Amino acid sequence: DAEITQSPRHKITETGRQVTLACHQTWNHNNMFWYRQDLGHGLRLIHYSYGVQDTNKGEVSDGYSVSRSNTEDLPLTLESAASSQTSVYFCASSEWDSPTHFGPGTRLTVT
């Protein structure tokens, strides 16, 4: 069965470190998205991609970057982790502009 996976599921890191969160989908979807979910803010879009070599900034992209070298993967990198980036991160994929399949999430704590 097709799926979308994220790793790690939990991560604790220190302020200033570079962190990469992995997202892998086997739906063969062109569109992939990264969201963060925080209490009081709901889900907010960080970055998205409509295909290989395509990346776009979302509403909360500062301090994050993505790259899309193949259809299946969209890794999210925090260049220099900050405590404000403590959150739960969700990757999603879709054949449409809106996300249809979400991964299980990565809980990131920055100390």
Task: Tell me which residues touch another protein (CB under 8 A).
Answer: 40-45, 59, 90, 92, 97-105
Nearer to another protein, 9 or 17 (CB): 9
Q: What are phi and psi of 16, to 5 degrees?
A: 95, -15
If the CB atoms of residues 63 and 88 are measured against another protein, the closer one turns out to be 88
Shortest Å, Cβ 14 to another protein: 25
Q: Using an 8 Å Cβ cutoff, are 58 and 66 in contact?
A: no
Cβ 107 to another protein shortest distance, Å? 9
**Shortest gap between Cβ of 15 and another protein (angstroms)?**
26
Q: Please, what is the minimum distance in Å from the beta carbon of residue 88 to another protein?
A: 9
Q: Taking the CA of residue 78 as centre, how many other CA atoms within 13 Å lie in the half-sphere pointing to its CB?
A: 25
Amino acid at 93: S
Query: Of 56 and 111, which has the nearer Cβ to another protein?
Result: 56
